Structure formats: structure tokens, C-alpha cells
A and B are shown apart, each in its own frame.
Chain A
Amino acid sequence: MGKVAIIGVGQSKFVRNYPGSIRELAFEGFKEAIADAGIVTKEIDASILCSAPEYDKQRSPSAVVAEYLGLNPQPTFYVESLCSSSSTGLKMAYAMVASGAHDVVAVIGLQKMSEISSAESQERMGRGADIQWESPFGTMMPAYYAMHAQAHMEKYGTTLEDLAAVRVKASTYGQLNERAVFRKPVTHDMFTDPKNMMSGPVSSPLRVGDCCANADGSSCLIVASEEKAKSFCRKPVWILGLGAASASVNLTGRDRLHGLKAAEQAARQAYAMAGVGPKNIDVAEVHDCFTIAELLAYEALGFADPGGAKELIRGKETYKEGSIPVNVDGGLLSKGHPIGATGGSQVRTIVLQLRGEAGDIQVKDPAIGLVHNIGGVGIYGNVTILGNE
């Protein structure tokens, strides 16, 4: 089986209230990826649209997006795994290319969340849990992650200040990211000032500042066979490892709340496939939909031992100059989280890092990067390892 590369990456700005329709939003990430890959549309022989349903009215959106982007009559597919939809799309594209069924596949992620109100959106996200047995209690995503935060704090002594430190780090880089929805500085003082919005309670122990914002956005990854990659691309970035796992939707089926088992399993698979370990990772993007989620990721990925995430953030080891830079593009906490587009945006950041084209946030000479992308509250765990050789 030949190698598989990512030869082009693109992303729209992540914004509130995108002034256009979903097909137009998809165009923004796609156009940039095509230009980045230096190819023309007809080179793409299949496309995969990744989004979470129920935010937009269009049913089977892969069809309208393929039409708008000029991708007919090539086959187009629709995949979803909630917030990790585009990582799932990337895994599908890898399989389609590695099998020889296709040579060049576009993985298009998108979400336009602003067509509905924030409360309606929380209700839909809450229904990304078990609607029969959990949603009737009034669940929502922050509350589930809050239960994980509570459990982690109790078991390991992680503090509210540690959670705030994750947001402070995110804002350090979010300020530099012109594609991010939230670009203001965030300080520890904001979390302790009852008058500051950041300290407002959402679901104990999580505060407004612990949560990422909804956003509208699109992303696009062009995935190609080794032969095509070498003929088109100056700097292909290779897919070295892919891991994916699932866990029970209902929390009653989980054996722990101080971690996400599906993420741990996905990490093990990805490391094994790539033949590397946590110490080999030079730069990472992790799914920080909530501050606690980033700390859980440090432990799931083996950047820290169980319970050790707090030391990593306290020692600023995950800053750009630290031993393992994480989310130096501002993460979901700064960029916003347009569900289906998020994984593609994370992959884009790592691809740019591995090509040495990350600008202000470039870490020093990375060779191997990692993306951790979670769907729902640990329902879908996805870890992707990329390398420049």
C-alpha cells in the first residue's frame, strides 16, 4: 500500500453570522485548498462533505456543495461524527486513496451554526447525546464536560486556575490568528472578577471562559496518493498514523469520567501505525472545546501521565517554546468551533507547521505533528499523526 499525503489545505475565517449560504461558505475553504495544492478542480476524483446535521436546512448537503464547487460528476459522500466529522472524513479519504479506489480526494468540512439561536444550538448539541435517556434531564455539552472536570479535579487535584490557564494560553495565540472568532486577550484576573463575563457560571465548575464559542466556518483538505502527491506538490505532508474509536453515548456506559477512553484508544492506534510515541510529537492540535478537554487530551495522548496535565500547563510546557506546543493557533477556544469544519482546521494548522509556513506561530523545525479531534463528549475519538517525510 502506497503512502497517502495531504497536498493542500484551506480554511475560511471562522466568524459569527457568516453572510452567505453553506455552499458559499464551503467555497472559501475549498478555493484556498485548491490554490495551496496547485491543482485544478478536475484533478479531484471524489469528495467527502463533513458536517453535523440539523444546523442548516439543506438535506444531503454533499450534493449541493459538490455542485457549487464544480465537483460533478465525481462521486461525493457525506460523513458525520459530530465535532470530529472532518477527521472522520480524512480517515475515509485515506482509505479511499490507500485502497487505490481514488487518487485525489477533497475533504470538505463546514458548519453554519448561526442560523439558529445559541439556546437552540445547545439543545441540538445536547441531542448529540442519548436523547431517549439523558436529554429529558436537560443536558447540554458544557454540562457533560463539566462532569468530567469535576471528576478530574476530585481525582487529581486539578484546579479552576489550571482550567483558566488553558484559556489564557489559547488567547495568547488567538490574538495572532486572523481566522479566529475570538481575538481578545484573556487573563487569570478575568476568571476571578465576578463582574467579568469570563467568570460567569455556565455549568459548575465551568465558566463562560472555559467554553469555546459557536462559529460559522469551512475547511478543506486535499488528500492524494503518493504518485499524485509527488507530481503536484512541493511539500507533501504524509499521513503516518490514524486512530479512531467509539464509546457509549450514555455516560452510564463509561468506566471513567476523569478521561476519555475513546481518545486514549485512538491515540494508541495512531502511535502504533506511525511507529512513534508521544515524545516524538513536535507540535499538536487538540480538541479544546472546553478548557478541561485540553487537559484530558494531554493525558490521553501521553504528553502527561494520568493526573499530570496540570503540571504541563503550570510549567507552560504546551506554549510555543515549551517541550510540546499544543494549540498554538489559539485552539477551538479562540478560533471558535464550527463543528464539521473543526478537524480540517486543526489538520491545516499542523500541515502549515510541518511545511514551516505557520508564520508568527511557527514552532522550531517540527517533523511530526498530531491532531486530536473528539466528537460529542468522548463518543468519537480521532487521532491523526502527520509527518513531513
Chain B
Amino acid sequence: MSEKKEDVRFGKFGTVSFTRTTRVNNFIDHLESGKVMFTHCNTCGTKFFPPRADCAVCLSSSMDWREVSGNGKLVSYSQLQYAPVGFEADVPYSIALLDYGDYQVFGRLDKGLDLAEVKIGMPMSTVVNQLPNGQLNYIFKKA
């Protein structure tokens, strides 16, 4: 009897991932190819970020991957000077929310940004980022 190997690709997401597997594990493959993707419901057209396997609007599970492209508007951000367990080496870092109109993206600001130049409402883009510990996430860069 052969056991099917668990697909744990999602364990690669972020400094510390708390989820090993999900039906949207392909998100990680897209990150590895340099793309941040959202899902689009083939039945009703709703766009979802974060990506989901199932549509909460029409309950369809037929989803397409589409790229988060262009610029979003910075809704808000905060720079952490104190981190939870597992994230100490990253301090200081800033978390933020970008509004793309049809959906919003939660992530981190580019560490190279001078916070004095960061203004709510400014356009920013979402790009894939390789973390020092080999993990992957995405960050927001000044457009």
C-alpha cells in the first residue's frame, strides 16, 4: 500500500508559515516564478486576494489564477519594533495594506524604503521577495 505524499508547498510562505498545505498551494509555484497571483471565479467573476479555492459568492470551486499587476494605493502601514517569536531577526519591518480596487493585498513594505517618504494613498506595486532564510513572500515597492 503506497501512501500519497502530503503536498506541503505552502510551508514556504513568509518568514514563518503556520500552514503547510492548502488547495491554493500553486500560489507558491507562482511566487517561485516571480508572480504574485490572485484567484478569479470562473462562474461569477469575483476576484479574491488572498487567493481561495472556493468562491464564497456563488460556491463554485472553478477558479483561475490571475496576476496582481499594476499599482495599488497604500491604505495604511505600521513599522514593528518588536516581533513575535520567530520573527526577531526581521525587526524592524513594516506591514501594510494596498487597495487594488477589486481586491486588497496585505503584506510588507520594501525594507529599503525610507518611511519618511511613505504616505497613505501613494501608489505601490507588489513584488516577490526572497527572504534570507530561504522562504518567500512579497513586498510593496514605491511605484
Tell me, yes or no, whether B8 is within 8 Å of chain A by CB: no
Known contacts A147-B97, A150-B78, A203-B80; is-contact A252 B50 (Cβ 8 Å): yes
Quick check: A119 and B50 within 8 Å, CB to CB? no
A376 to B99, CA, bound (A): 22
Instruction: Kindly specify which of A69-77, A126-134, A271-279, A281-289 makes contact with the partner chain.
Output: A126-134
CB within 8 Å for A137 and B83 given contacts A127-B18, A132-B22: no
- Cβ of A359 within 8 Å of any chain B Cβ, yes or no, is no
> When chains A and B are docked, how far (Å) is the Cα of A127 from the Cα of B84?
10
Contacts of A206 in B (CB 8 A): 78
Given contacts A150-B77, A257-B76, A136 and B18 within 8 Å (CB-CB): yes
Q: Does any Cβ of A come within 8 Å of B128's Cβ?
A: no
**Cα distance A144–B76 when bound, in Å?**
10
Asked whether A250 lies within 8 Å of B19 as measured between CB atoms, the reply is no
Q: Is B73 an interface residue (CB 8 A)?
A: no
Residues A122 and B84 in contact, CB atoms below 8 Å apart: yes
CA distance A142 to B65 in the complex (A): 33
How many Cβ-Cβ contacts under 8 Å join chain A to chain B? 118
Q: Are A132 and B84 in contact (CB under 8 A)?
A: no
Instruction: Tally A residues with Cβ within 8 Å of B.
Output: 39
In the assembled complex, the Cα of A132 lies from the Cα of B97 at a distance in Å of 16
The reply on A140 being an interface residue by CB < 8 A is yes
Beta-carbon nearest neighbor of B105 in chain A: A252
- B127: chain A residues at CB < 8 Å are none
A251 touching B120 in the complex, CB below 8 Å, given contacts A120-B85, A150-B78, A203-B78: no
Q: Which A residue's beta carbon lies closest to that of B90?
A: A138
- Residue among A120, A149, A154 facing the most chain B CB atoms (10 A cut-off): A154
Query: Which of B16, B22, B79, B90 has the most chain A CB atoms inside 10 A of its CB?
Result: B79
Q: Quick one: closest B residue to A116, CB to CB?
A: B85
Cα of A134 to Cα of B97 in the assembled complex, Å: 11
What chain A residues lie within 8 Å of B13 (beta carbons)? 136
CB of A137 within 8 A of CB of B108, answer yes
Contact of B103 among A251, A252, A254, A257 (CB under 8 A): A252
How many residues belonging to B are interface residues under a CB distance threshold of 8 Å?
40
Docked-complex contact B81 and A151, CB < 8 angstroms: no
The CA of A159 and the CA of B79, in the complex, are separated in Å by: 17
Q: Which chain A positions have C-beta within 8 A of B97? A: 147, 251-252, 257
Nearest to B119 among chain A residues (CB) is A154
How many angstroms from the CA of A119 to the CA of B83 in the assembled complex?
7
Contact in complex: A151, B106 (CB < 8 Å) = no
A323 at the interface (CB under 8 A from B): no
In contact, A138 and B93 (Cβ under 8 angstroms):
yes
- Knowing A151-B120, A251-B97, say if A136 contacts B80 (CB, 8 Å): no
Complex interface: chain B residues within 8 A of A254 (CB): 104
A114 on interface, CB distance cutoff 8 Å: no
Cβ-closest chain A residue relative to B96: A147
Q: What's the nearest-Cβ distance from chain A to residue B120, in Å?
A: 4
The docked-state distance in angstroms from the alpha carbon of A131 to that of B84 is 13
User: B-facing mask of A190-215, CB < 8 A → 1, else 0?
Assistant: 00000000000111111000000000
Alpha-carbon separation in the docked complex, A130 to B49 (Å): 13
CB < 8 Å neighbour of B76 from A132, A140, A147: A147
Query: Is A146 close to B, CB under 8 A?
Result: yes
A148 CB–B CB distance under 8 Å:
yes
Picked from A123, A140, A148, A257, the residue with its CB within 8 Å of the CB of B80 is A140
Bound CA–CA A92/B143 (angstroms): 49
Q: How far is the CA of A123 from the CA of B85 in the complex (A)?
A: 6
CA distance A127 to B16 in the complex (A): 12
List of B residues within 8 angstroms of A187 by Cβ: none
Query: Does A143 have its Cβ within 8 Å of any Cβ on chain B?
Result: yes
B19 is contacted by which of A119, A132, A142, A149 (Cβ under 8 Å)? A132
- Tell me if A143 and B14 are in contact (CB < 8 A): no
Residues B50 and A250 in contact, CB atoms below 8 Å apart: yes
Report Cα–Cα, A137/B80, bound state, in Å: 11
Least Cβ–Cβ distance between B66 and chain A, in angstroms? 16
Could you list 17 further interchain pairs (A-B, Cβ under 8 angstroms) beyond the known A137-B137, A147-B95?
A122-B84, A123-B84, A132-B19, A135-B18, A137-B108, A138-B83, A138-B95, A139-B95, A140-B82, A140-B83, A140-B84, A151-B76, A204-B81, A205-B78, A252-B97, A252-B105, A257-B97
What are 7 pairs between A and B in contact, CB < 8 Å?
Answer: A119-B83, A137-B108, A138-B14, A140-B82, A149-B78, A204-B78, A251-B106
Q: In the A-B complex, list the 4 residue pairs whose CB atoms are closest, starting with the nearest.
A: A136-B14, A138-B87, A146-B78, A123-B84
- Chain A interfacial positions (CB closer than 8 Å to B): 119-120, 122-123, 126-127, 130-140, 142-144, 146-151, 154, 201-206, 250-254, 257
